[in-house]
């Protein structure tokens, strides 16, 4: 049985604690903020437990005492702080004992060969001429050898236009769910819902889940798979890679799903109230200015955008 101190913490309290941690990473709190922070901690024993766990986890992740860890994290680039905050939130919700299972993952991501921060998109030409693009909040290792070309996707989303390799080495994208081998192709891979979602726009792919049979994917098809399961084949949607051109395209997309995608490109927390999550949305939106997107949504839909701070925004009913 878990000790009370190791029990999972409610997601709502995690968000509140994360908000205060984010403010502290940004600099010293003023007198009013310090007063409100003290009041929040004293309002509920769970608030104090959440804060203690955050202090302990951030110190553990950096290998130094919590006070020093906070100073180190404050000096990190904004994207790294967001990633660290995301990780701490996951560990808090999961429970203290989950740290052992997750402890190596953040370091793999932090030390990845190529990673993009929140709101950042990267494009690289690889040694074989392949064109690799990373969506916001993504991390990959690139391992080319004499026998193969391998890209390890740790998190996020990539778009790959494979190049012609004179040595004819196989081109493989490795994910936690399994392997994807490209056969002269253009495709995207998105880590979501505990698996890998693949959209194939040109060529052919082999999907190799760790614990399921290999299947092939043809041009114009998409499919989700996990380590032991395969989803249904569906038509590939070219709109899903509009991020590569700095856009987010919606065609009668539920607002909740749209907000979840938009939040990937915006620092802080952006949430959608379940009361409006099903509202359909159609349009083309620029990812470079998410505030402008939120304003456009408020002007065109029966919703209200509420801001606790610039980093804590909720989309809800009017």
The H-assigned helical ranges of 158-267 are 255-263
Fold entry, domain 246-317: Phage tail protein beta-alpha-beta fold (3.55.50)
What CATH code would you report for 114-238?
Answer: 2.60.120.1440
What confidence score (pLDDT) does residue 158 get?
98
Residues 6+ apart with CB under 8 A from 149: 126, 128, 130, 165, 169, 170, 171, 172
Q: What does the pLDDT average to over 283-303?
A: 95
Given this model, what pLDDT does residue 64 score?
38
Name all contacts of 231-236 with Cβ < 8 Å and 24+ positions apart: 231/195, 236/199, 236/200, 236/201
Structure tokens at 126: 């690889």
* Stronger pLDDT, 288 or 109, i.e. the higher one: 288
**Nearest one of 151, 145, 121, 115 to 133, comparing CA atoms:** 121
For 136, counting Cβ atoms within 10 Å of its Cβ (0-12 exposed, 13-18 middle, 19+ buried), the class is buried
- In angstroms, the CA 163 to CA 140 distance is 18
| Residue bearing tokens 């109230």 | 273
Phi, psi of 53 (to 5 degrees): -70, -40
- pLDDT exceeding 70 applies to what percent of the chain? 79
Does residue 20 carry a pLDDT above 50?
Answer: yes
Percentage of the residues of the chain whose pLDDT score is greater than 90: 55
CA distance 61 to 80: 13
Report whether pLDDT(86) > 80: no
Tally DSSP H helices, then E strands, for the chain.
9, 17
CA–CA gap between residue 282 and residue 304 (Å, rounded): 18
- Mean pLDDT, residues 59-64 taken together: 45
Average pLDDT, rounded, for the chain: 83
Q: Is the pLDDT of residue 274 over 60?
A: yes
pLDDT tens profile 159-189: 999 988 888 899 999 999 999 999 879 999 9
Q: Which of 148, 126, 118, 92 is nearest to 262 (CA)?
A: 118
Residue 23 has a pLDDT of 74
**Sorting pLDDT into bands at 50, 70 and 90, what band is 209?**
very high
225-242 mean pLDDT: 96
| Statement: residue 50 has pLDDT above 80 | yes
**Residues whose CB is less than 8 angstroms from the CB of residue 310 and which lie 6 or more positions away in sequence, other chains included:** 268
Phi/psi at 32 (5° precision): -65, -40
Higher pLDDT, 19 or 127: 127
Q: Is residue 210 predicted with pLDDT exceeding 60?
A: yes
pLDDT value of position 111 = 61
Instruction: Name the nearest CA neighbour of 120 among 276, 271, 11, 244.
Output: 244
Contact yes or no for 25/81 (Cβ under 8 A): yes
d(CA 9, CA 56): 14
Residue 222 phi/psi, 5-degree rounding, is -135, 155
Q: Which tokens hold the place of 193?
A: 């819902």
pLDDT at 92: 52
The answer to whether the 114-238 and 246-317 domains have the same CATH topology is no
Quick: pLDDT tens for 142-155.
Answer: 999 999 999 999 99
Give the C-alpha separation, 260 to 262, whole Å.
6
**Could you give the CA distance from residue 284 to residue 272 in angstroms, rounded to a whole number?**
19
**Per-residue pLDDT for 125 more than 90?**
yes
Mark out the alpha helices in 104-233 (DSSP H runs). Answer: 105-110
What is the structure's pLDDT at 9?
73
Domain ranges of the chain: 4-110, 114-238, 246-317
Choice among 37-41, 71-75, 253-257, 288-292 with the minimum mean pLDDT: 71-75
Q: Which residue has the tokens 């955008």?
A: 305
- The CA distances from residue 309 to 30, 51, 188, in Å, are 15, 19, 34
Looking at the predicted structure, is the pLDDT value of residue 129 above 70?
A: yes
Nearest-angstrom CA–CA distance, 19 and 13: 10
């Amino acid at each position: 049985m878990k000790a009370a101190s190791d029990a999972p913490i409610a997601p709502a309290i995690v968000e509140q604690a994360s908000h205060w941690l984010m403010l502290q990473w940004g600099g010293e709190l003023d007198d009013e903020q310090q007063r409100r922070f003290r009041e929040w901690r004293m309002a509920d024993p769970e608030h104090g437990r959440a804060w203690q766990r955050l202090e302990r986890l951030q110190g553990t992740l950096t290998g130094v005492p919590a006070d020093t860890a906070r100073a180190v994290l404050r000096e990190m680039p904004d994207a790294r702080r967001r990633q660290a905050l995301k990780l701490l939130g996951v560990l808090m919700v999961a429970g203290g004992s989950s740290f052992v299972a997750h402890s190596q993952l953040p370091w793999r991501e932090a030390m990845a060969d190529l990673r993009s921060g929140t709101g950042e998109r990267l494009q690289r030409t690889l040694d074989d001429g392949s064109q690799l693009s990373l969506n916001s909040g993504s991390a990959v290792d690139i391992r080319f050898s004499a026998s193969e070309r391998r890209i390890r996707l740790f998190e996020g989303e990539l778009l790959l236009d494979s190049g012609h390799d004179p040595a004819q080495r196989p081109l493989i994208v490795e994910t936690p769910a399994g392997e994807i081998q490209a056969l002269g192709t253009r495709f995207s891979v998105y880590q979501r819902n505990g698996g890998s979602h693949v959209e194939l726009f040109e060529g052919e792919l082999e999907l190799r889940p760790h614990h399921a049979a290999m299947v092939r994917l043809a041009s114009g098809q998409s499919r989700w798979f996990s380590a032991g399961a395969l989803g249904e084949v569906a038509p590939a949607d070219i709109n899903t890679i509009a991020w590569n051109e700095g856009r987010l395209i919606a065609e009668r997309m539920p607002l909740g799903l749209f907000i979840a995608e938009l939040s990937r490109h915006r620092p802080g927390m952006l949430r959608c109230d379940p009361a409006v999550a099903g509202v359909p949305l159609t349009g083309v939106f620029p990812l470079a200015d998410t505030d402008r997107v939120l304003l456009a949504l408020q002007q065109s839909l029966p919703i209200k955008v509420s801001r606790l701070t610039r980093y804590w925004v909720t989309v809800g009913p009017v």
